[in-house]
Each structure stands twice: as C-alpha cells, then as structure tokens.
Amino acid sequence: MGGRKNVKVLLDTRAKNLSQNPYLSELVDHTAPGAELRGFSWTEALLGSYDVLHAHWPEYMVDYPDLRRRTAARCLMVLLLARLALTRTPVIVTRHNDRARVSRGPIDVWLLRAFERRVRGEVSLRRSGSRTEEVRSHVVIPHSDYLPWAERLGHTPSAVPIDGYVLGFGILRRYKNFDTLLQVTEDCHVVIAGAIADEEYASTLRSVASVRRASADLRFGRVSDEETLHLFDRARLVAIPYPDPGNSGVALLALSLGRPVLMERNAASQELQADYGPEWVHLYDPPFAAASFKHALGALPKSPVPVPVRRRWPTAGEAHTSFYRQVLIENSRR
C-alpha cells in the first residue's frame, strides 16, 4: 500500500457477532492490508480512535427488545452523533436492503435520519441499487460469494443432494412467506431452518406443516456453521419465497455451495442470474406458486456452478479499502 497507514474502520456489528456473519468475517479478512476493521462497542464508538464508521444495519444499533436497553441505546446514539459531528468522522453505509426490516418508533426514526445525515459514502451491492442523492461518494461492490468461508470449514462440493429435498433458510419472519413454501411444496421434503422472529409465526409454521402430505422439518434457532453446510449439501433446491429478496445472502451461500436457488424476479435477482446463469438462478414472477417451484425442481443444473470474478472476496476487499481512502480524502476537503 505504498507505506500508507492502515485506515481504522469501526463496524456497527459487535466483535463477538462478526464470526456469526460470514459476509462480515470475510470483509474483515479481505480488507487487510490497507484497512483495519474492528467490531462495535459503545465504548469504542464514543471514546475509541477510528477514521471511518462503516454501518451495515444501523437500525439495529437502537433496536433492543426491552425498553431499558432501547432507551440506553438511544441516549448513546445521541452521544455518538455528537462525537461524529465534532470529529468530522465520515460514515459509510452498505445498503443491504432497500428498506429497514425492523419496526421503528418516532424516536428511532429521528435518530436514524440524523445518522443518515452523517453518511459520506454509500456502498451498493448491485448496479440497480438505489442511490441517496445527498451522499457524494458512491460505489457498487457486488455481494461476494462464501467460498472462502466454506473452505475454512473444510467443505468440499462433493455431496450428492437428495431428490425432492427443498431448503428454506434464514431468519424466519412472517413477510418471508415460509408458510407459503410449505403449502406449495406438498410432494417434497421441506426443511425450514433459522432463528425465529416471533413465537406466533412459529405456531403458524407448525400448523401448516402438520397438514402437509409430505414431511416437513422445522428447525427454529441459530444454526451452527457445520449444520448449515450439512443442510445445504442435502438440498436439491434452495427456495427463497419472500418478496423483494434484494441482495440475498442466502442465495449467494447456496450458489457458493453448489446449490441452485429459486427467487422472485427483480433487478437484484436478474443481476445474480446474469452472473450465474438461468440453470442456477431460477426466477419466478409473484406470487410464489407451485408451478414456479415444480419448474425449478425439474430443470436442475447440468454444468458446474460458475465463479464470477466480480463476486470474489479479494476483489471486494480491495474495492472496500480503496473506497475508505476515497471517502476520507473527500471528507477532508469539505
């Protein structure tokens, strides 16, 4: 890096959680040398030394289930906003979703709008991603694959999938339509695995699963890395039944592990299909229905899954490091 010092970057995800998110753990590994990424703590955010705050899901910084912790987080966010303004520390945001996926009250809306006013750089994960006009610096860095993560776990893409085995994976929220997945896949063995967002939706899934002709396996709770690999290895098809899947990490995980996906047609999924091909990325026009599912299950890949260069982590790591430096330079001129 020509003797230049590393850019110190504070992420908005706590250090203990970085290893639980392969996207972030790979980002940390592949931005070095050149950038030093650290996990979040309020002590570090308020008193630490860093050049850039890089947020991925800023809404979760104030999203706590109990009022006491939420109130404390709101107060700390006010202090963080003051620190960012006084030190003129730039904020970079990666737009994983076009809109926040958590409910927000008026106080949180105000805080997050104030946070957005500190944003100096914006990372889109796709060419068609929306751009905030007020943000001067913008870059497209496609969501990279999970091959390095899988290789570190000793995974080899040699497992033979099980016929009729369909996987639904991820955080289980009502809007994601996993109950519909259970309804339209009556003749297949379906596994739905992931942390459950609320017990009422868990009851809904159990109820729908109980009246199916074929078996269904519901696995509520955090899934270990080893179990994740096992689930994907067995799957003939990974179904993503929710509307507007955006920059789906589940889709990239499936493709990285050599499993085709079925997802809603939109700008993001069409970009993914252009990179991996129609035999690996099957698209449906909403609503999610049995016909789309049967077509995807009957048109399985006959060639190896591609490895697009633009979705490799070394490429993404270099792009992030360059963008950090660009934003710092532009921020110093303001």
pLDDT in tens, 118-167: 999 999 988 876 677 778 899 999 999 999 999 888 887 667 888 889 99
pLDDT in tens, 265-295: 988 899 999 999 999 999 999 888 888 888 8
Give the model's confidence band at 329: pLDDT under 50 very low, under 70 low, under 90 confident, else very high.
very high
Residue 197 in this model has a pLDDT that exceeds 90: no
Distance CA 311, CA 306 (A): 11
pLDDT at 20: 82
**Which residues, at least 6 apart from 61, have a Cβ–Cβ distance to it below 8 Å?**
12, 40, 55, 73, 77
What are the start-end ranges of the H helices in 120-193? 147-152, 178-184
Average pLDDT over every residue of 99-115: 81
Q: Give the residue range(s) of CATH 3.40.50.2000 domains in the chain.
A: 147-306
Contact between 240 and 262 (Cβ < 8 Å): yes
- CATH code of the region 7-144+312-332: 3.40.50
As a whole number of Å, the end-to-end CA separation of the chain is 25
Average pLDDT over every residue of 170-178: 91
CATH number 3.40.50.2000 is the correct assignment for the domain at 147-306: yes
What are the start-end ranges of the H helices in 211-279? 225-234, 249-256, 267-276
pLDDT at 99: 65
CA-closest candidate to residue 297, choices 257, 215, 239, 229: 239
Residue 102 in this model has a pLDDT that exceeds 80: no
Residue 247 in this model has a pLDDT that exceeds 70: yes
pTM (2 d.p.)? 0.85
Q: What is the largest CA-CA distance in the chain?
A: 65
